[in-house]
């Protein structure tokens, strides 16, 4: 069964109303509106609230059709973490055949939420040396998508022309070994924007040269998660590879930014309660002085100077210190620790850091996605994740490109 809300969008045009106005008038959440924008099912209660505002019947705003049988595309993920990227790829319609993750807590998170997934809790160096076709039960070239974002260590290959074997010891080497052995039709390699400029661009060139040497053409683009249904400013470098023998048959385009860019008001106000790390009493009292959207310049100078200590004399705006977010802006990049002096992200309404569940909302994880391990480990897993909605939009474009093969 498939649903479509095209009738609703047409009705809004007829009524001279936009989506934001409908959301506020009906009292539905941003998440519900986002799901409808993707033609996903929502609760009957939400539909009834919309119908009350528009004075119409449910049949006037949605269509239900029987889905035609479609091919299921396969994916394997490396450096899977807590599953933000894998979940987005699953939501786009892929079947996950395996995930490799070295961190036990993150692997437990994957297993708790998706017991049917094959989660391999091991160092990738112990896996990439195996016969991967035999290990995953695949023939060379059968896999549709290899995904993952190798943590980028500080390494430099300035002035050198290195092949795959010369990159041993780096994590992207193991990613390239998967490409070499399995020859997936496409790959998705996600990393920080700074990789583009590391060592004057030579590091990224080395990585892409090696990926190309395994038989792929490369497309790259920096995407901001805020443009794709995520209430967070988070720029990521997305590298897409297409197997060279399919390059003239697969047409991939990066996703188009959404019309509406969510802010913290959309994700925080109805967020479920969860564990979190509080500020010290000293820091909490200082944050009580900072207005929403403000930072250290918005409190008395003597208090700011005492708090900042040597940071007071540093150059630059230091706008991350004593930074309190506003409900009317997106989150700054979610970090792996809730309280770092130079990168504070104080809650807009209370003098405290975001909870784990609030950070997960900012990363567009669904509320039912549970994280394992200590509070510190859970913060780390959420902070390291790829925003789910960003991953889904990219994966949908990959799926469209793969469908073009048939």
Q: Reduce the DSSP state of residue 73 to 3 states and report it.
A: strand
Containing 33, the helix (H) or strand (E) segment is: helix 30-37
Q: Is 152 a catalytic residue?
A: yes
Tokens matching residue 113: 């939420």
Give burial (CB, 10 Å; 0-12/13-18/19+) of 75: buried
Q: For tokens 């319609």, name the residue.
A: 93
The H-assigned helical ranges of 197-263 are 202-213
Contact 334, 382 (CB under 8 A): yes
> Which of 152, 346, 362, 372 does the annotation list as catalytic?
152
Cβ–Cβ under 8 Å, residues 383 and 336 = yes
- Compute the half-sphere exposure of residue 5: CA atoms within 13 Å on the CB side of its CA: 19
List b or e across 186-202, with b for residues whose CB sees 16 or more CB atoms inside 10 angstroms. bbbbbbbeebeebbeee
Which amino acids are annotated catalytic?
A: 152
């Amino acid at each position: 069964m498939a649903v479509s809300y095209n009738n609703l969008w047409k009705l809004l045009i007829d009524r001279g109303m936009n989506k934001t106005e409908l959301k506020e008038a009906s009292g539905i959440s941003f998440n519900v509106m986002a799901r409808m924008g993707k033609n996903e099912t929502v609760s009957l209660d939400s539909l009834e609230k919309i119908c009350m505002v528009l004075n119409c019947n449910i049949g006037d705003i949605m269509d239900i059709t029987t889905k035609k049988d479609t091919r299921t595309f396969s994916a394997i993920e490396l450096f899977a973490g807590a599953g933000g990227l894998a979940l987005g790829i699953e939501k786009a319609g892929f079947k996950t055949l395996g995930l490799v993750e070295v961190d036990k807590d993150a692997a437990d998170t994957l297993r708790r939420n998706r017991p049917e997934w094959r989660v391999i809790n091991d160092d990738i160096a112990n896996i990439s040396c195996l016969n991967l076709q035999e290990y995953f039960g695949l023939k060379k070239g059968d896999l549709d998508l290899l995904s993952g974002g190798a943590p980028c260590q500080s390494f430099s290959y300035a002035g050198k022309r290195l092949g795959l074997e010369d990159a041993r010891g780096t994590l992207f080497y193991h990613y390239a070994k998967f490409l070499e052995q399995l020859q997936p039709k496409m790959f998705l390699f996600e990393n920080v924007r700074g990789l583009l400029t590391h060592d004057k661009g030579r590091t990224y060139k080395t990585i892409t040269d090696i990926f190309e040497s395994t038989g792929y053409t490369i497309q790259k683009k920096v995407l901001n998660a805020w443009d794709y249904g995520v209430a967070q400013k988070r720029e990521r470098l997305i590298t897409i590879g297409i197997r060279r023998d399919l390059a003239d048959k697969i047409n991939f385009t990066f996703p188009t930014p959404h019309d509406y860019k969510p802010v913290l008001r959309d994700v925080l106000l109805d967020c479920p309660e969860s564990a979190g790390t509080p500020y010290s009493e000293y820091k909490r009292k200082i944050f009580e002085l900072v207005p929403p959207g403000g930072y250290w310049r918005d409190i008395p100078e003597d208090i700011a100077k005492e708090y900042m200590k040597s940071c007071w004399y540093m150059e630059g705006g230091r706008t991350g210190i004593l930074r309190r977010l506003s409900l009317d802006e997106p989150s700054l990049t979610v970090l792996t620790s809730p309280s770092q002096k130079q990168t504070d992200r104080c809650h807009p309404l209370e003098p405290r850091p975001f909870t784990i569940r609030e950070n997960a909302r900012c990363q567009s994880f669904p509320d039912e996605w549970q994280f394992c391990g200590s509070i510190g480990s859970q913060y780390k897993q959420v902070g390291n994740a790829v925003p789910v909605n960003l991953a889904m939009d990219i994966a949908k474009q990959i799926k469209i490109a793969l469908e073009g093969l048939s």
